[in-house]
């Protein structure tokens, strides 16, 4: 009997073209994950969530300065909301607490993106091998 492998769809919203490209490339290389799309503005991020229906959204908290946590809340309020991994320049206890209060499932510091994302995806999708 052959086991069905679930492919998780990942969307990324970030206003840095360089980071967006690097993150998209990284996601595309992870077994069990596929890129659902990218966005470079807060409005585009909401549209992407509604149109692509990803399983998880990597959301840069710098995308909507002064409104980033509200953006997390809005994404989590969408029908069929994805898991949200908030991205911040640095992984600090204060940033983690604020992201969790807003409804994010995890926070990953960009300074340790690869390792942090691996851990976050493993926590969100325990059966997946990120």
DSSP annotation string for 59-80: EETTSSTTTHHHHHHHHHTSTT
Whether residue 122 contacts residue 128, with contact meaning beta carbons closer than 8 Å, is answered with: yes
pLDDT at position 115, please?
Answer: 95
pLDDT at position 3, please?
Answer: 58
Tens-digit pLDDT profile for the chain (130 aa)? 555 678 999 999 999 999 999 999 999 999 999 999 999 999 999 999 999 999 999 999 988 877 889 999 999 999 999 999 999 988 889 989 999 999 999 999 999 999 999 999 999 998 765 5
Q: How far apart are CA 93 and CA 98, in angstroms?
A: 9
Helices (H), 15-126: 17-28, 42-52, 68-76, 93-102, 113-124
Phi, psi of 122 (to 5 degrees): -65, -35
pLDDT at position 66, please?
Answer: 79
pLDDT at position 130, please?
Answer: 52
Q: Give all domains of the chain, ordered by start, each with its CATH number.
A: 8-124 (3.40.50.2300)
Strand partners, 106: 85
């Amino acid at each position: 009997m052959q086991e069905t492998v679930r492919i998780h769809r990942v969307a990324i919203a970030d206003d840095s073209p360089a980071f967006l490209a690097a993150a998209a490339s990284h996601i595309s290389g992870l077994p069990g994950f596929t890129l659902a799309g990218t966005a470079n503005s807060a409005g585009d991020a909401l549209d992407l969530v509604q149109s692509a229906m990803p399983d998880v959204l990597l959301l840069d908290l710098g995308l909507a300065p002064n409104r980033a946590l509200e953006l997390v809340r809005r994404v989590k309020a969408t029908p069929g909301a994805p898991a949200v991994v908030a991205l911040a320049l640095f992984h600090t206890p204060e940033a983690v607490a604020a992201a969790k209060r807003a409804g994010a499932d995890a926070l990953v510091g960009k300074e340790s993106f690869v390792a942090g994302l691996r851990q976050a995806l493993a926590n969100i999708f325990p059966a997946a091998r990120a």
